Structure 1
Amino acid sequence: MFRRPLYCALLALLPLLAEASGFSRLAELTDQGFLVGAEARLLGSGERLGAIEPERQLSPASVSKVYVAAAALERWGPQHRFTSRLVSTAEPDADGVLAGDLIFDGGGDPALTSEDLWRLVQRLHQAGVRRVEGRLVISQWRYGPVECLTTDRCQAHSRVANAYSALLSSAGVNFGSWCVAVAPAAAAGQPARINSCDSRSPIVEIDNRVETRPDDSGTELNAERVLRDSGDVMVLRGQISTNARPRLVYRASSDPARQTAHTLRSMLEQAGITLGDGVSVVASEPPAEARRLAAVEGKPLQELLLRTLNYSNNFMADVLALNLVETPRASLEQGGTALAAFAAETPGHGPITLRSGSGLTPENRTSAAGVNALLERMYHRPALFPSFVAALQSPGNGVMRFLRRGSPTFQHHVMLKTGTLNQPVAVRAVGGYFRTRSGQWGVFSALVNGTATTPWLNWRQVLDPLAADLETMIDAH
């Protein structure tokens, strides 16, 4: 009398077992206590090749950046460029004197660099300006300073030993980070030679504790940017061999708009343009009567996305998300809300919570099925898809070395974006496209989250089984 119900129960489980079998190796992580959501399916037929709780809401970490890329392409198109301007209510006189403030109007370019500022200054010089009697004003009226939402970014205001937690501003330059070049002195025993990467004279204050050692002694550098009463200071310790090549060191600044002020002032001085009344950073929009003296356009959006996703650049991703907000003084949460609203328009996506575009916020939540729905949406945008997929990495040719694993099938038939978090729990997430042996396109996503009781999670534990599972799917179709 009990056989029929048991038989029916087993029949009901068969579809679930069949779906999970597509991720048979990845599913072993669930036995270790990790939370897993995964799905792979073909785009042409819609056939699902494998799934592990695909609707489960999990942290995607930096896979959040695919939402930024998709939303930005749909809003502006691949060739959009952000513009940075120098404006003033005054006009230069016959002697090149500007009797007023020189205002830098930050245009929210996520990839504004010192080279762009140099071009801007050269155009100002070409416009006839030789002296500014007023202030150099940095206007971050669109957004900035942006309230920090994560521990790393909040701590980065006072001191930081990385570049990934850079603070945010619509008037930021060099991805919100200082750069210094460390070179050996002429002889062992002397302090190393350290300069700013963009100037012969230091733009940021340097506390040099690096010693030059004899040839082939090895180079070991420890760098921290600290905020002191005098401003940002790059503190460098360690050693460098006399025959070593210069090393570049990047650390997030305490205030990206003020970093722009110091960098731009240095560029103006190098171009022979003198300043009068100092530097100011404001959150107000330039006066309506201000006229443009010089402008520079950034790189096309499709190039920005290549850098944002390939290098998983948090500063660029969050700046792009902030640019999506329609009103001035945007917050990081508003940027996340704009991305979530975009995702909600995607057929079959399901619930989503985004508090940032970078994925640094651990509260971000989506599902494997949701990520795949977004990927499918972009696949069906022929004018946008080439720029979107080009921003992803192929494991065999990408810039991230940890991806270079698995068989040639995985390395060359897959394009993906990864995401990593280690606090408050470990997160390893992947999403992207694959091509089968017969040339069919497919989408896949795998979100793996740790818990308070699970052991440490590394990429080998996730990528090795995922690569093997995807290889089986690719070869079978």
Structure 2
Amino acid sequence: MMSRTLARLGCLLLLCGSLLPVTAVGSGFAELGKMTESGFRISAEARLLGDGGRDGVLLGAIEPQRQLSPASVSKAYLAAAALDRWGPQHRFATRLVSTAELDADGVLRGDLILDGGGDPGLSSEDLWRLTQRLHQAGVREIEGRLVVSQWRFGPVECITTDRCEGQSRTANSYSALLSSAGVNHGNWCVNVAPGAAAGEPARITSCDSQGLILEVDNRIETRPPDSGTEFSAERVTREEGDVMLLRGQISLNASPRDVYRASGDPARQTARTLMAMLEQAGIGVGGGYVTSIDQPAASARTLAQVEGRALQELLLHVMNYSNNFMADVLALNLVDTPRADLFQAGEAIQQYVAGLPDHGPVIMLSGSGLTTENRTSAHGSNALLESMFHRSSLFPSFVASFQSPANGVSRFIRRGSPLFQDHIMLKTGTLNQPYAVRAVSGYFRTRSGRWGVFTVMVNGTSSTPWLNWAQVLDPLSEDLARMIEAH
């Protein structure tokens, strides 16, 4: 099914490319335009927005209608679609429900169900708040099972190599699998600290519980002070569940450090984490835990509920930290029918874009941008930015999710002149396989206070050399600073 879909998308891209006009290379982007000489494919556009009766002004363009991969700049599309759908103050709710009776002794005579509400930012803190509220409701024992229901979506079929490989093992945190009942961004966390003396194993504890929640195979040795700390961490999934493999050494005087690795089953991770918290609260579960794709019965009553952070706060994490788990979970929430997949999530974003004036073609297969088949143009991306600029109730939350280079979370964007660093708000996108992608999009303010938008997408090919951020941001900062200075 996926191969047929991608084949149709490829045909659409070729058709779009054959119909779009070509703008003179380097027009307004004198420095950035030099990259075309090395074989990189570029789509770029910068323009002043119309305001106070003044028309917009095109300041620079390099093939602005060209369809290229935007990588994580896709998250700007997701942010706009999410704000349009729910508004900045929307909160996703997670509930503990049951159809069983609670007797006078505090025993729930049946199953306790966690109804996963698709909260992209669900955390251990939220699960602990649910546990406390369950205790406040009088529950002291669960006779049945803990059931984690991911009926809205999950487990979601993987469509990228990293996520597919992550079903069995992973050495990173960004390839987390997806579920409407996932916690902690689909990541396990363990804390690694030196042992009591040199020669002893490192001390490993859970970040979310007094005891270990998942099995750990610890082969990190404590070494004498100042001997260096170097270790690896890999999560593997075995028949009995997830295991964290730790190898290497840690100095006796080293500070403890948290290690995050994507889990092999986010709903099961949630179940194990919640079980640990119920145990700490003195609430026993007689029947163990299971995960489910069944919707809780309509007759199930709510025993505890927690609301997550407001959407505008979630978007700060989605955009500033380019959190792929949060982005794709948020995109899946845009699908109205249960059992959503990423293709449907992408279609929901495309439907939103279809209503934007003067945008043109777009292809979104995910909200995160991890899928290299996502396509848009610099002109289209700027149309999105301009549309949000004119929505006064949504624009403050939208623009706040972009980063200023001077205060950026990511160090690599802290470059260029003070004029560039202080007058720009941007979102970046990075991919390295199967080809290099460096994309950047956002807003700028001129010295007179006028707003502008810009988007630059640079895509490599199999024959182009390695592409780093300095190659893109350095010339771009010169070009944009010149435009800002001139207006």
TM-score above 0.5, yes or no:
yes
Answer yes or no: is 1:323 the counterpart of 2:333: yes
**Distance (Å, rounded) in 2 between the aligned partners of 1:216 and 1:445:** 47
**Distance (Å, rounded) in 2 between the aligned partners of 1:346 and 1:31:** 34
Counterpart position of 1:224:
234
Counterpart position of 2:433:
423
Shift of residue 218 of structure 1? 1.9
Determine what percentage of the aligned residue pairs are the same residue: 72
1:56 pairs with one of 56, 66, 72: 66
Q: Cα deviation per residue 1:62-87 (whole Å; 9 max; x = unaligned)? A: 00000110011011110100000000
Counterpart position of 2:349:
339
Change beyond 3 A, Cα 1:281–1:476: same
Q: Is the 8 A contact 2:26 2:34 kept in 1?
A: no
Change beyond 3 A, Cα 1:19–1:154: closer
**Distance (Å, rounded) in 1 between the aligned partners of 2:445 and 2:25:** 19
**Distance (Å, rounded) in 2 between the aligned partners of 1:265 and 1:171:** 14
**Distance (Å, rounded) in 1 between the aligned partners of 2:339 and 2:320:** 29
Answer yes or no: is 1:37 the counterpart of 2:47: no
Counterpart position of 2:29:
23
Q: Is the 8 A contact 1:222 1:238 kept in 2?
A: yes
Q: Cα deviation per residue 1:103-133 (whole Å; 9 max; x = unaligned)? A: 0000000000000000000000000000000
Shift of residue 91 of structure 1? 2.8
Change beyond 3 A, Cα 1:339–1:17: closer
Q: Is the 8 A contact 1:136 1:278 kept in 2?
A: yes
Counterpart position of 1:301:
311
**Distance (Å, rounded) in 2 between the aligned partners of 1:238 and 1:462:** 37
Q: Is the 8 A contact 1:220 1:239 kept in 2?
A: yes
Counterpart position of 1:184:
194
Amino acid at match of 2:144: G
Q: How many residues align?
A: 463
Q: Is the 8 A contact 2:141 2:285 kept in 1?
A: yes
Counterpart position of 1:210:
220
Answer yes or no: is 1:167 the counterpart of 2:177: yes
Q: How does 1:294-443 map to 2 (within 5 A)?
A: 294-443=304-453
**Distance (Å, rounded) in 2 between the aligned partners of 1:186 and 1:352:** 57
Counterpart position of 1:8:
none
The two structures, once aligned, show a CA RMSD in angstroms of: 1.1
Q: Which moved more, 1:210-219 or 1:35-44?
A: 210-219
Answer yes or no: is 1:444 the counterpart of 2:450: no
Moved over 2 A (4+): 15-21
Counterpart position of 2:260:
250
**Distance (Å, rounded) in 2 between the aligned partners of 1:34 and 1:233:** 42
Counterpart position of 1:289:
299
Shift of residue 17 of structure 1? 7.7
**Distance (Å, rounded) in 1 between the aligned partners of 2:162 and 2:114:** 29
Counterpart position of 2:18:
none
Please, which runs of 5 or more residues in structure 2 have no aligned partner? 1-20
**Distance (Å, rounded) in 2 between the aligned partners of 1:264 and 1:179:** 14
Counterpart position of 1:475:
485
Amino acid at match of 1:157: Q
Answer yes or no: is 1:77 the counterpart of 2:72: no
Q: Cα deviation per residue 1:358-409 (whole Å; 9 max; x = unaligned)? A: 0000100000001100000110111111100000100110100000111111
2:112 pairs with one of 102, 110, 113: 102
Shift of residue 297 of structure 1? 0.3
Change beyond 3 A, Cα 1:339–1:16: closer
2:211 pairs with one of 188, 197, 201: 201
**Distance (Å, rounded) in 2 between the aligned partners of 1:83 and 1:389:** 25
Q: Is the 8 A contact 1:65 1:357 kept in 2?
A: yes
Change beyond 3 A, Cα 1:16–1:227: closer
Secondary structure of the residue aligned to 1:470 is helix
Change beyond 3 A, Cα 1:25–1:290: same
Q: Is the 8 A contact 1:178 1:253 kept in 2?
A: yes
Normalized against structure 1, the TM-score is what?
0.96
**Distance (Å, rounded) in 2 between the aligned partners of 1:263 and 1:149:** 27
**Distance (Å, rounded) in 2 between the aligned partners of 1:458 and 1:90:** 58
Q: Is the 8 A contact 1:19 1:48 kept in 2?
A: no
Amino acid at match of 2:298: A
Normalized against structure 2, the TM-score is what?
0.94
Shift of residue 244 of structure 1? 1.1
Please, which runs of 5 or more residues in structure 1 have no aligned partner? 1-14
**Distance (Å, rounded) in 1 between the aligned partners of 2:377 and 2:395:** 22
**Distance (Å, rounded) in 2 between the aligned partners of 1:215 and 1:103:** 48
Q: Is the 8 A contact 1:105 1:140 kept in 2?
A: yes
**Distance (Å, rounded) in 2 between the aligned partners of 1:16 and 1:42:** 21
**Distance (Å, rounded) in 2 between the aligned partners of 1:475 and 1:104:** 55
**Distance (Å, rounded) in 1 between the aligned partners of 2:230 and 2:28:** 46
Q: Is the 8 A contact 2:23 2:63 kept in 1?
A: no
Counterpart position of 1:5:
none
Shift of residue 21 of structure 1? 3.2
Counterpart position of 2:125:
115
Answer yes or no: is 1:91 the counterpart of 2:91: no
Q: Which moved more, 1:212-221 or 1:444-453?
A: 212-221
Q: Is the 8 A contact 1:19 1:49 kept in 2?
A: no
**Distance (Å, rounded) in 2 between the aligned partners of 1:292 and 1:17:** 59
**Distance (Å, rounded) in 1 between the aligned partners of 2:383 and 2:326:** 24
Shift of residue 48 of structure 1? 0.4
**Distance (Å, rounded) in 2 between the aligned partners of 1:281 and 1:25:** 55
Amino acid at match of 1:42: L
Shift of residue 295 of structure 1? 0.2
Counterpart position of 2:269:
259
Amino acid at match of 1:20: G
Counterpart position of 2:288:
278
Change beyond 3 A, Cα 1:42–1:19: farther
**Distance (Å, rounded) in 2 between the aligned partners of 1:21 and 1:184:** 58
Counterpart position of 1:7:
none
**Distance (Å, rounded) in 2 between the aligned partners of 1:392 and 1:174:** 23
Q: Cα deviation per residue 1:301-356 (whole Å; 9 max; x = unaligned)? A: 00000011000000000000000001000001100110011111110100001100
